[in-house]
Structure 1
Amino acid sequence: MTTDRCPADHYEVLAVASSAGGIKALTAVLGTLGADFPVPVLVVQHLDPRHRTVIAEVLARRTELRVKLAGADERARPGTVYIAPPDRHLLVGPGGTLTLSGSELVHFLRPSADLLFESVAGAYGAQAIGCVLTGTGSDGAMGVDAIKSRGGTVISEDPRTAEFKGMPEAAVGTGSVDFVLPLEEIAAVIRGLVETKRQ
């Protein structure tokens, strides 16, 4: 797919989607990005809304990045991972301002990776990286198209090596994915993209 936007001279955000098997996959990616990772990371991990989540605490022990549940009207800052709270859509607007929404479910889900990715595409355009990891269902596929159509870069875990292949398979099926990678190679490619664009 081609776009009429010029490539960005650097990236400004990384958005990540995961579901079943996601804690392990997020640990593998976030754990090797390094404390000096120069952009914010926005994460939709499908969580059970009936229980208080400890995902931020769990991931914080496994990465040098700061990890927290996203707050409404917070500004996304470099080197920090913002996780969509249970039962809230996470969106980002101009200037990196985060919004939490209790609006209707998307494909029976809240939070929705599609909504996050679409908001990232609108706010950051070609300066966005979207990444789809393990999970069931197809959440993220529409959002992948949105990021790609605005000139951003899309990465998917290889469905053949994903613990649950539904989400990566749906993303790859759009034809909008730039890199299809085994889980253990994703962080290095992300770092390479971000650092190359900043030199």
Structure 2
Amino acid sequence: MTAVHNALLAGRKIDAVVIGASAGGIDALLRILPVLPRHFGFSVIVVLHLPDDRDSRLAEVFQQRLAMPVRQADDKMPLEAGSVYFAPPGYHLSIERDFSFSLSQEDPVHFSRPAIDVLMESAADAYGERLAGILLTGASADGAAGMARIAACGGLTVVQDPLDAEIATMPLAAIRLRAPDAVLPVPAIRTLMAAMKEIQ
């Protein structure tokens, strides 16, 4: 674990990691998530902007590349440590105070449903300082408010370096709204995720 990662994780207890991405996000996630060991002790929940009019194969695609169990989140499904969850298309994904998922079809946020802000804000309210939020490449401001809520609740916030992102709009929006704990390129985010195993 590098000095940067040690400083970010020192004294922290993390129960869940929420990740938001849009344009260019699949490539970034494929570079980050496969590093996670099968017995990674946290829940990892991902919102990737998807078209509403087609089924998602993200869970299937990522399960072929990850040691951890991967599934599509469903309404009332309880979160389990050591699993990766993807938001389904056409629904906002929230985390309730009892650490279960809820789905809704409320209006899009930043033209997106699922919206990163919806997941991150609800996760911050549920997990507080025991949450880590990671925002990757994308072409909207979705995720900026969610990352700010995570920070306000004491959680860890990491934004992809805009110079490293395929589309810098989303990382820049988050950085401008509230400075994150770290701004890192994808290789360093991957190392940070692997280092989280050491603080369990």
Superposed pair shares fold, TM > 0.5 = yes
Q: CA deviation at 1:95?
A: 3.0
Contact 1:33 1:188 in 2 (8 A): no
The answer to whether 1:11 aligns with 2:14 is yes
Residues paired across the two proteins, number: 191
- Aligned counterpart for 1:110 among listed residues 99, 109, 113: 113
Q: Which residue of 2 aligns with 1:58?
A: 61
Q: Which residue of 2 aligns with 1:120?
A: 123
Provide closer, same or farther for how the CA distance between residues 179 and 194 of structure 1 changes in structure 2, counting only shifts above 3 A. Answer: farther
The answer to whether 1:178 aligns with 2:181 is yes
Contact 1:72 1:98 in 2 (8 A): yes
The answer to whether 1:131 aligns with 2:127 is no
Q: CA deviation at 1:9?
A: 4.9
Contact 2:20 2:143 in 1 (8 A): yes
- Aligned counterpart for 2:23 among listed residues 2, 20, 24: 20
Unaligned runs of at least 5 residues, structure 2: 1-9
Q: CA deviation at 1:118?
A: 0.3
* Counterpart code for 2:47: V
Contact 1:156 1:168 in 2 (8 A): yes
Contact 1:158 1:168 in 2 (8 A): yes
* Counterpart code for 1:117: M
Q: CA deviation at 1:174?
A: 2.1
Contact 1:10 1:194 in 2 (8 A): no
TM-score in terms of structure 1 length? 0.91
Unaligned runs of at least 5 residues, structure 1: 1-6
The answer to whether 1:87 aligns with 2:90 is yes
Q: What is the percentage of aligned positions where both structures have the same residue?
A: 36
Distance 2:39 2:123 in 1: 22
Contact 1:90 1:116 in 2 (8 A): yes
1:117-196 equivalence runs, <5 A: 117-193=120-196, 195-196=198-199
Other structure's SS at 2:35 match:
coil
Other structure's SS at 2:141 match:
coil
TM-score in terms of structure 2 length? 0.91
Q: CA deviation at 1:195?
A: 2.7
